[in-house]
Amino acid sequence: MPKLMVVNNDYATLVYYPETQIVHHTFHKPMVSEEFRAVLNAGIDLLEKHKATKWLSDDRGNGALSEADTEWSMTNWFPRAVEAGWKFWALVVPADFMARLNLQEFVDSYYEKGLRIMVFVDPEAALTWLETL
């Protein structure tokens, strides 16, 4: 499937799949605040520009977020992403227990606010699920 490369650095990759309108980030290692926020903000730009509604988060390489980034994600980034059209989230979780625990907080909060979410350990399964929507 063709893809548009948006970000590709030591911390993360962000691509967009035009045929299926999926925003897809992969975190390669624990994120620092500046890089984390830049990738997520670039994803919002893709949602807006392409009228996309689906996001695949491959967080297997990430660790638990700082309190500041957790707060920013929930109160700043999430409302803007939903406003941009985000409706479906496929989340690939890391093996690290604390990182998974941190992500559970997002899953619970975002689900309560209407986001449709599926959690995976395999990115291909996550992509397949989004493609069926």
**pLDDT level of residue 100 (50, 70, 90 thresholds):** confident
Specify the pLDDT at position 121.
94
Helices (H), the chain: 33-50, 67-72, 78-83, 97-112, 123-131
Please compute the mean of the pLDDT values over residues 25-42 and round it to a whole number.
96
Residue 39 is encoded by which pair of tokens? 């990738």
Q: Please give the mean pLDDT across all residues of the chain.
A: 95
**pLDDT level of residue 95 (50, 70, 90 thresholds):** confident
Residues 11-25 pLDDT 10s: 999 999 999 999 999
Q: How far lies 49's CA from each of 44, 59, 81, 83, in Å?
A: 9, 24, 12, 13
3-state secondary structure of 5: strand
Please compute the mean of the pLDDT values over residues 116-120 and round it to a whole number.
97
Is the pLDDT confidence value at 132 over 90? yes
Closest CA to 42 of 3, 81, 10: 81
Please compute the mean of the pLDDT values over residues 18-40 and round it to a whole number.
97
